[in-house]
Amino acid sequence: MKISDAFSVPIAEFSLESPADFWTELIDLLLAQEAQGEKFGKAGQHGNGLIFESHSDLFNQEDPLLRQIAAFCHVALASVIRHLSDHTDAEFEKLVFDYQAWYQITRTDGFQGFHNQPNGSWAGLFFIDPGDEAPERPGSGSVMLHDARVNASYFQDEGNTRLKYPAMQCAYKLDPTQGKLFIFPSFVQQETFAYFGKRPRIIIHFNCWIRTDTDIPRITQDRSRIALLNPVSPETDIDSKASADRPTTAVPENEDQ
């Protein structure tokens, strides 16, 4: 018997290992930006209005901490594309990545409904501060990626409800650990359950479209977008593959651009 996984949805997982003071400084920076209001974003976003969402120019900011975050995300996504695509070495070296990136700060009871990221081919979600646990509410703040096969759950019985990974039909729950970055196709629907912790929860989001350096840029004047050259050479050996069992954790180098 031969079984093929014909409609795979890759979910890549990375971890940024940094000292505690790095995260403390980064969290303080983003909370200070939130306190300045509309200069950096807008409160009252999504769900019941308990989310602050920054402008989508985060990767354009010059702060060294944010430059390191941007570089980490950029190298991670480039390594995913390198692993999954059939670009030749010459083609791969010409890729240019256009980003929109922003952060969300969620207060108690905040949530975000069903949505995807239609402005690119890939999306990313990076946990900066996952917030507090709420033992009495085990689903607090869960971030779920939903099955992209729109008809997959139309009929359910014993023949398909007990399938094992990767054939299973269910949502995929992301691990809300500080420093975890998840990258997935932008068509995947996601949602965030109501967060019942007390400490503000901070997550960085981005979407990206990828072109060659000979293409005419889709956006030329919008400062919320940043174009970054490919940081991964064809010879670079980065352990960042989505395995057949579960996404592999990897730590890309923190290259600045």
Sequence-ordered list of residues with C-beta below 8 angstroms from that of 206, at least 6 positions apart, any chain: 58, 59, 73, 99, 100, 101, 102, 123, 124, 126
Among 58, 171, 36, CA closest to 104: 58
pTM: 0.84
The two beta strands, 12-15 and 249-250, are parallel
Instruction: Please indicate, yes or no, if residue 45 is contained in any of the structural domains.
Output: yes
For residue 176, what are the domain limits?
12-243
Number of domains in the chain: 1
- Is 178 part of any domain? yes
What is d(CA 51, CA 108) in angstroms, rounded to the nearest whole number? 9
Confirm whether 139 is domain-assigned: yes
Q: Does 251 fall in a domain?
A: no
Q: Which amino acid is at 210?
A: I
pLDDT tens, residue by residue, 116-167: 888 789 999 999 999 998 888 888 989 999 888 888 878 889 998 898 888 8
Helix/strand/coil for 149:
coil
87 assigned to some structural domain: yes
Mean per-residue pLDDT, 62-70: 95
Distances, alpha carbon 121 to alpha carbons 79, 117, 202, 233, in Å:
15, 8, 24, 21
Residue 250 lies in a domain: no
Residue 231: beta bridge partners? none
Tell me, yes or no, whether 233 lies in a domain.
Answer: yes
CATH number for the domain spanning 225: value is 2.60.120.620
- 253 lies in a domain? no
